[in-house]
Amino acid sequence: MPRPAHLLILVFLFACGPSEGQLRSGETSLAESSPADAPFSAASAQERLPPPGNAWVIFGADTVQAEVARTFEEREQGLMYRENLPKGRGMLFVFPDAQIRSFWMKNTFIPLDIAYLDAELRIVDIQPMEPEKLDSHPSTLPAMFALEVPLGWFEEVGIAVGDQAQVVFGPG
């Protein structure tokens, strides 16, 4: 006969076991579960996304909230004419394919670091860029993404060439 402590453990395990709406992996699908069964609602899931037009670029414990530049016009404008860029913020340039990319700092008043990332979101190059300089900063390898952040941020948090990023895009 089980002891009372064992009964409590069994009751706890049964109560915490998978509910009907859960998948085999133990994850709950919002579409298949009721709001009571779901760990969070669809509304709270939206709250867990970056703001519209932004992305979170995640490097382990460090995250940049970046404005996303997807179109030719957005990429051409970039961070020009900005007076400041807070730490932890940046701009993610998204290109349709991976190739050698090149940036310059015309009309850009903020000192920046640029990290070029390949199609798998691995950093292939990081370069410092001085404000308002017209010299070109080409990537050393083909890149599909470029991330601009305040100068020195990558070194400050210990992010280097070869590091892997994850990106979570906000709506729009």
Of residues 42 and 129, the one with the higher pLDDT is 129
Is residue 22 domain-shared with residue 82, that is, in the same domain?
Answer: no
Domain at 105, CATH number: 2.60.120.1140
Is residue 83 domain-shared with residue 104, that is, in the same domain?
Answer: yes
Is residue 79 domain-shared with residue 133, that is, in the same domain?
Answer: yes
- Give this prediction's pTM: 0.74
Is residue 10 domain-shared with residue 69, that is, in the same domain?
Answer: no
Structure tokens at 43: 């509304």
Is residue 78 domain-shared with residue 98, that is, in the same domain?
Answer: yes
Structure tokens at 118: 């390949």
Of residues 136 and 28, the one with the higher pLDDT is 136
Is residue 75 domain-shared with residue 151, that is, in the same domain?
Answer: yes
Is residue 40 over pLDDT 80? no
Whether the Cβ atoms of residue 81 and residue 53 lie closer than 8 Å to each other:
no
3: containing domain: 1-48
Is residue 72 domain-shared with residue 152, that is, in the same domain?
Answer: yes
Is residue 54 domain-shared with residue 30, that is, in the same domain?
Answer: no
Q: Report residue 70's pLDDT band, with 50, 70 and 90 as the boundaries.
A: very high
Is residue 23 domain-shared with residue 82, that is, in the same domain?
Answer: no
Count of domains for the chain: 2
For residue 75, CA distances in Å to 69, 94, 96 come to 5, 8, 12
Q: Report residue 46's pLDDT band, with 50, 70 and 90 as the boundaries.
A: low
Is residue 90 domain-shared with residue 135, that is, in the same domain?
Answer: yes
Is residue 129 domain-shared with residue 112, that is, in the same domain?
Answer: yes
Interval 115-170: pLDDT, tens = 999 999 999 999 999 999 999 999 999 999 999 999 999 999 999 999 999 999 99
Q: Select from 89, 147, 86 the least CA-distant residue to 116.
A: 147
Q: Select from 108, 111, 109, 115 the least CA-distant residue to 93.
A: 115
For 10, phi then psi, to 5°, come to -65, -45
